[in-house]
Structure 1
Amino acid sequence: MVPLSFANEEFFLTEGRAVFWPRENALLVADLHLEKASFYATHGQMLPPYDSRETLERVALAIRETGARRVFTLGDNFHDNAGTGRLEPHAAGMLAALTRATDWVWITGNHDHAMEAQAGGTLAHELEVAGMVLRHQAKAGETRPEFSGHYHPRLHITVRQRRIRRPCAVVSRDASGSGRMILPAFGALTGGMDAADPAILKAMQPASTIHAMLPAGGKLVQFSLWTSPHPAGAAEGAASGA
């Protein structure tokens, strides 16, 4: 884990794409997309049916690593509303154990807006916790500190003629020092969008700066994506410790 100062609080970004909030003893994860493989199977595209197991193992590891007692999932928890009913017994047992061991809150997203908490936990469309807004999709114009998911951001850079794509968080900051964060997709079977995509930059306005952030070598590395007053667009930045 690497420390990250955000919205005048201290957080940690884990190697496994989660954010740990020490003051609330809470783990934040986005876009689990559980039962994505079984969803595709119902449409004739057969994929290995173990994505939910792998994703839940990742969640369990992050809970052990951080000691979190609360879990907030930031939407698209299942790939569709019926996903909870397709969990095979082993994965269902894993999920039930996790929701019993923690104060688990499902924040719903566009893929699972009508999901049911069949394996435990509670449901919410969005929440405000200790002044932080937790929702699935970043709301353009939001001025409160905000955590969201939805976009599956990935950093796209070229290093020594090699194209590198890695999941990352996208963090905006405004003149007051407050900010908003889009988490990377946590699920085992999730793709990604370029962190500098105009749709992401637009969703993070108003902002003074927007950066891609990820842990690397035990440090937090950041790349500039956008700086006011330039037009929204992608500007590949140079790495720097934070």
Structure 2
Amino acid sequence: MNAHAFTFAGHDLQALACGALFWPEQELLCVSDLHLGKSGRIARRAGLLVPPYETLDTLARLDAALAETRARTVVCLGDSFDDLAAAGGLSEEESLWIARLQAGRRWIWIEGNHDPGPVDVGGQHRESLSLGGIVFRHIADETASGEISGHYHPKARIALRGRSLARPCFLVSAQRIILPAFGTYTGGLDCRDAAFAPLLKPPVFAVLTGTRATPFKLKQPTKTTPLR
């Protein structure tokens, strides 16, 4: 398995290269910000047509992560759907795929700012989830500790063959983990952005996703630079 193993809140976790977080002891896979149905939302609200394949691509990568880890519990950390209309507008193929992934598993949808209401696609809908001293929620709470969240779509820049590329990344401190966005059509925020400063007390490390899960020490966030 291509992953970076580390200990958080007394538990052994794995940051997978695909952008999912695996908790072996609980047989739990956690993903954030799937933003399923984003192309449809863009078409409805902006009248722009973009290739409508991101939902199937995201589900295919989630399917692969579940096959690799054999997780029995799945926690989706909010913004699983780009809006509530997207949750109700899934194609038959997409709905059946989600149902197949849910079969035989405990599946928990954590509410996000894009999908705050219940979604009628199976599983449980929760504001947050507490398990083994760890709290799962969509947006980080500065006062919390032992927290896993998403929302910010953290990314880091790397140099590859003379080019600067942005990669989604995990951000990890003693208090919290912020997951990268798992969805295909998602932008991101530079991991050195000042928005992360009140949430991540040093020492902090990041784990780049992509072909390999690559950890590196992160300096204190100091700037504001959205990455697309």
CA distance in 1, matches of 2:125, 2:15: 24
Number of aligned residue pairs:
220
TM-score (norm 1): 0.85
The equivalent of 1:133 in structure 2 is 135
CA distance in 1, matches of 2:211, 2:117: 40
Shift of 1:164: 2.4
Q: Is 1:223 aligned with 2:217?
A: yes
Shift of 1:67: 0.8
Q: Is 1:52 aligned with 2:41?
A: no
Q: Is the 8 A contact 1:100 1:120 kept in 2?
A: no
CA distance in 2, matches of 1:219, 1:92: 30
- The 5-angstrom pairing of residues 9-158 of structure 1 reads 9-43=11-45, 44-116=47-119, 118-142=120-144, 144-158=145-159
Aligned with 1:11: secondary structure? strand
The equivalent of 2:176 in structure 1 is 180
The equivalent of 1:229 in structure 2 is none
CA distance in 1, matches of 2:27, 2:210: 24
Aligned partner of 1:233 among 198, 222, 225: 222
Q: Is the 8 A contact 2:18 2:210 kept in 1?
A: no
CA distance in 2, matches of 1:55, 1:137: 21
Q: 1:18 to 1:222 in 2, by over 3 A?
A: same
Q: For residues 54-86 of structure 1, what are the alpha-carbon distances to aligned partners after superposition, in whole Å with 9 as ceiling and x for unaligned?
A: 111111110001010100000001001221111
Q: For residues 116-158 of structure 1, what are the alpha-carbon distances to aligned partners after superposition, in whole Å with 9 as ceiling and x for unaligned?
A: 2x2210000111111101000111121x211000000001244
CA RMSD, Structure 1 to Structure 2 (Å): 1.8
Q: For residues 91-130 of structure 1, what are the alpha-carbon distances to aligned partners after superposition, in whole Å with 9 as ceiling and x for unaligned?
A: 11101111223110000100100142x2210000111111
Amino acid at match of 2:80: N
Q: Is the 8 A contact 1:210 1:225 kept in 2?
A: yes
Q: 1:60 to 1:201 in 2, by over 3 A?
A: same
Q: Which has the higher contact order (CA 8 A, sep 6+)?
A: 2
CA distance in 2, matches of 1:60, 1:161: 34
Amino acid at match of 1:225: K
Q: 1:41 to 1:181 in 2, by over 3 A?
A: same
Structure 1 gaps, min length 5? 174-178, 227-231, 235-242
Amino acid at match of 1:211: F
CA distance in 1, matches of 2:62, 2:214: 21
The equivalent of 2:164 in structure 1 is 163
Aligned with 1:82: secondary structure? helix
CA distance in 2, matches of 1:10, 1:104: 21
CA distance in 2, matches of 1:136, 1:233: 23
Identity of aligned residues (%): 37
Q: Is the 8 A contact 2:23 2:29 kept in 1?
A: yes
Structure 2 gaps, min length 5? 224-228
TM-score (norm 2): 0.90
